[in-house]
Structure 1
């Protein structure tokens, strides 16, 4: 049952629309961060600092902070429209960046049209956090409408113009879809004003919510409803504080009321909507996900001053299927705790207005004039953090399990494609498999650029029990889980970072070889995999030679090229192999017997090693034909002067059959799986000591 729910939630999170919204929020984090720092400086809760800020340079610094805030957070909805539309348009025109830009521009124009009043006037404040919900709605609907008309309705009636400039012609083709889209949104806005007598969608929502109040009896009931709705709206990207500002001014007023704006700011929503200072503490205490820990580092400095946009947009809280419940529940419980403390006479009412950026505890003391206000805030923090803790754990478990689930789906899809020989271009897909493939490719490219790609080594043992070498194997991890290596290679090729990945692995191999030479012997060799196309590049070959020379491992490095790719039709491959041989770098054919490699390379001794195809080795015990093929290859190796290595030696029965056929070099789980370099060194030393004892007859 959990797997089904987890799969459903992950599929929902990675649905094209939800994924576009989430990525759009992540895209505006730098903007929000810049604006938040400016806001913090502008509103820093120390009177002396405020006086200095207002007087410095005739108020220049204060005006500068205002300008930075207004140009970043003040227009965050506009930036959000562009971000969401950019990612959502990928579903319709992934390979046409010009058309995607047109869709983004259309969505932006439709969003602006949604805030035009009956007179056509616009209020700039609508483009800040107030307009987040409308921004989400417009970016999706306008982009969908634009492409629906561009790709279907107006395809036969496009506006073409004379001239050779393709970009100009592309712009002209977007005239009708853009014009109709903007007109539709403008008409809807005007109809809303005419029929419902509201200026825009946000005003309509505010009006409907205000009608809920007044029918409830009791200040606490109104307070609970207000707090519930204020935080519920944030879940959908609606600025709850602004949407219910009129309610706060009309309902929570009077000389004998407990619940006031100061009370709400300093006790119900400590740290901002959702009482997110408790969420921040919960993440600090239990978060194990790297991205969430990085988010905490960014959000904590501002969170101390009740600026929580980074946390709300970065996690994100908006449309979060798990965090929405504590985000709503904690403020309500905080309100009830503080209200009970005042009603019981334990804490004085919050009678003083306190700057909303005042940190917790200071705000509690200043608002009530008593240390009891600080104590109540401490109780609220403790209870709120305790409520958030299990949800943080659940959210991170769903993130981890969801990633594993989708990686498993992608791996299954890839393996099926391997068997069927199907086209496996996953980065061009827009379904959930394509989503996880893009996320993995992005992480892979980052790891390659930072040289953080793990390489493990599987030992190779000869018939006398000596460890004579190892094969370097890619063991890259995504979300702490090792990914099927051929899938990693496929994603690297499709993403365009395969050559950089190869170079990263070769550098690691040469570095490790130079480190372990003294411990395992100068004749110890490590092989690394390349593809035939790379073997055909003289520049890459010379770079490999230079790399091996720099680390002084020329006679210890072996390059494996799979026989799966034909070597015959690559013109420079012969001379490049000779060049490698001249510099002491050996060559091996991997998965030999797949039928595409020309025997002329074996006749001329250009390959020193041939590695048997694993499918032959695995069947060698029960399949007589496999034994005959392997025996023929071993015999051919003796006649032509190359050595044969058997992979996939999983048990002694397979090794004994190979020994009878004349094979003397083995690699497989019978000896060891692929291990990190430190474990390889320990394995070699331990195995060598055991072999020496056997040679001396200590172990019979």
Structure 2
């Protein structure tokens, strides 16, 4: 089942329209958060707080809250529509060989089509049409329809003005190119408006909402009515549409009168009559539609992701007062197939539980009016006037947590799989050496890869500053003549709290994109020197720690000062440090960088050329750099390379002897491979056949075990 859900989620994530809907709604999250907080202050769960707020913040506080709600929730449908049009046109443009139309122009056409369709109308109706509560269905339908029509028309060559020489500004030419398609799209929506007017529809938003709601208003206080209402309402929410507000007519025609009748009955000392009242569904929506307070608790209890738990805490405050738009759009639940089933199932199960509790007289019917923002459990007691009401609501909350919990874990599994795939794509980009945007290979990316790279970059900056989650592992280097380890390469690792181990090439590329490679290099040098100091006395005095240095560190011209400072800080002699320069960087340092390398070598620091092959770049490095060692690239050590690689390795060994360089062969993974390399004359090795990169203590134990074997053999 899980595999099918994961596959289905992956398929849906590749559909541009659904992708754009989800992202367009998510773009409204900042104003939704502000609006939610304003709404809580405007409608506090305890009415006594309102006078207190007025005293504390002044008499204009309520007016300011109303402005905030109107400026956030009140225009959210319009902004969600704009977000959809922008994201969708961007996605479509990236799939074409040449962009179809500017996303900004698509947004303008979409907004125009929307107002053509909802106007003329009264001011109050117009405000409802652009609000999140009432206008979102029409806004999203217009956004989907207008963007699709416009982009299809814009692709038609017959509707494109060929000349782009109009005006002095290039953008003007782009606008004129697709002006016929834009104009025709708006005209088509004007024709649709005329058709609706001829049919008697003067208010599209109200007519659509009213038609949907009236079909559900039966007047029957039955379980069938309650389940139908809650299912339809939840389905709307799955598309980001405020279900209860769209179905306002059901509230006005059936549930509100039932609530009033129950309240009057309690005042008159009579038993309430109706089960399905406005207060019943307020009891049901613990944390907001879908009983998402249970989801938040499940996230806090079972999530392994710190970011998920942090978001749950952020969404908890408004959810305690039954405002869950931040969770719906931010997690998101909207258009998320993983959470669709529990989001529908939890309210259905809780409706049945509460209905049975009331129909069997275990739980009193609702008969007291309280604010809809009253927190769960308190609400259960206050609305029913009974402890049993609170107990049943607590049971429903527990059911919600139990149902949501496995889907939280499933969601994290899907996110982890997508994250690993994106991470692998970043690794491929890094290793391919695509020098885009002045060397910013990863941070210049767009889409999911760009967002992941940006997120990782921010986390890396924090990790370097705080020295958290970054550490070194060590891979021993072996001399078969002596049978001992003569050194160990320090290898950077990043154990990300969400994405796990980040590939080292991605770490380095992100650091270079951010311009923090010198700081990261200092951090690695410091850790390696500290570890070599800790091993003092446990390894031979000439045992070397090899540290990779990046081009940015070399080109700084001050690498020698940084290196000497780290060695002095740990009271280490210079001869125990080997700096490895990567051949694949295709970089010949400038004079200042060369002078820095020369100064280090003169003072005893050894310099190695990593990933050495036999290309022109390798040979240029041999002439340009002050070197002590070359490390033969693993691509030459593979047994399937045949005799050619053997001849190349023999040539490198001859060349190294003539230039007085030592050699180390990297990537040795099998006994056959080792035997072949030994026959070629290789004696110093590094690779998985001997040892994988290990934690410092494990590496030291391995080094000691080799020394003990060598002593016994002697």
Query: Is 1:378 aligned to residue 394 of structure 2?
Result: yes
Bigger drift between 586-595 and 240-249 goes to 586-595
Q: Distance in 1 between matches of 2:25 and 2:475?
A: 44
Q: Distance in 2 between matches of 1:321 and 1:127?
A: 27
Which of 602, 606, 623 in structure 1 is aligned with 2:622?
602
Query: Is 1:245 aligned to residue 260 of structure 2?
Result: no
Q: C-alpha displacement at 1:151, in angstroms?
A: 5.0
User: Match of 1:325?
Assistant: 341
User: Match of 2:608?
Assistant: 588
Secondary structure of 1:101's aligned partner: helix
User: Match of 1:393?
Assistant: 409
Q: Distance in 2 between matches of 1:202 and 1:456?
A: 65
Query: In the alignment, is the contact (CA less than 8 A) between 1:577 and 1:606 conserved in 2?
Result: yes
Q: C-alpha displacement at 1:624, in angstroms?
A: 4.5
Secondary structure of 1:354's aligned partner: coil
Matches of residues 605-644 of structure 1 in structure 2 within 5 Å?
A: 606-619=626-639, 623-644=642-663
Query: In the alignment, is the contact (CA less than 8 A) between 1:458 and 1:473 conserved in 2?
Result: no
Q: Distance in 1 between matches of 2:16 and 2:498?
A: 21
User: Match of 2:112?
Assistant: 109
Q: 1:605 to 1:227 in 2, by over 3 A?
A: closer
Extract unaligned runs of 5+ from structure 1: none
Query: In the alignment, is the contact (CA less than 8 A) between 1:513 and 1:556 conserved in 2?
Result: no
Q: C-alpha displacement at 1:308, in angstroms?
A: 0.7
Which of 685, 690, 700 in structure 1 is aligned with 2:705?
690
User: Match of 2:29?
Assistant: 29
1:499-548 deviations in Å (ceiling 9; x for gaps): 636445423311212321312347532231535xx58x74x233x33432
Matches of residues 280-679 of structure 1 in structure 2 within 5 Å?
A: 280-404=296-420, 410=425, 435-450=447-462, 451=464, 456-463=473-480, 464=482, 465-473=484-492, 480-482=499-501, 492=509, 497-498=512-513, 500=515, 502-503=517-518, 505-521=520-536, 523=542, 524-528=544-548, 530=550, 534=552, 538=555, 540-542=556-558, 544-552=559-567, 558-564=578-584, 566=586, 577-578=597-598, 581=601, 586-597=606-617, 599=619, 601-602=621-622, 606-619=626-639, 623-675=642-694, 679=695
Q: C-alpha displacement at 1:640, in angstroms?
A: 0.6
Q: Distance in 2 between matches of 1:108 and 1:584?
A: 69
Q: Distance in 2 between matches of 1:567 and 1:346?
A: 79
Q: Distance in 2 between matches of 1:329 and 1:603?
A: 71
Q: Distance in 1 between matches of 2:422 and 2:623?
A: 47
Q: C-alpha displacement at 1:372, in angstroms?
A: 1.5
Query: In the alignment, is the contact (CA less than 8 A) between 1:107 and 1:139 conserved in 2?
Result: yes
Matches of residues 127-142 of structure 1 in structure 2 within 5 Å?
A: 127-129=130-132, 130-142=134-146
Query: In the alignment, is the contact (CA less than 8 A) between 1:428 and 1:434 conserved in 2?
Result: no
Q: C-alpha displacement at 1:367, in angstroms?
A: 0.8
Q: 1:31 to 1:3 in 2, by over 3 A?
A: same
Q: 1:636 to 1:265 in 2, by over 3 A?
A: same
User: Match of 2:291?
Assistant: 275
Secondary structure of 2:91's aligned partner: helix
User: Match of 1:39?
Assistant: 39
Query: In the alignment, is the contact (CA less than 8 A) between 1:460 and 1:471 conserved in 2?
Result: no
Q: C-alpha displacement at 1:250, in angstroms?
A: 1.4
Q: Distance in 1 between matches of 2:325 and 2:233?
A: 15
Query: Is 1:12 aligned to residue 37 of structure 2?
Result: no
Q: C-alpha displacement at 1:122, in angstroms?
A: 4.9
Extract unaligned runs of 5+ from structure 2: 262-272, 569-573
User: Match of 1:261?
Assistant: 278
TM-score (norm 2): 0.83
Which of 92, 114, 126 in structure 1 is aligned with 2:129?
126
Q: 1:354 to 1:160 in 2, by over 3 A?
A: farther
Q: C-alpha displacement at 1:487, in angstroms?
A: 6.7
Matches of residues 142-291 of structure 1 in structure 2 within 5 Å?
A: 142-153=146-157, 154-156=159-161, 161-162=166-167, 164-167=168-171, 170=174, 175-195=179-199, 197=201, 199-201=203-205, 203-214=207-218, 218-252=221-255, 253-254=257-258, 255=261, 256-266=273-283, 268-291=284-307
Q: 1:584 to 1:144 in 2, by over 3 A?
A: farther
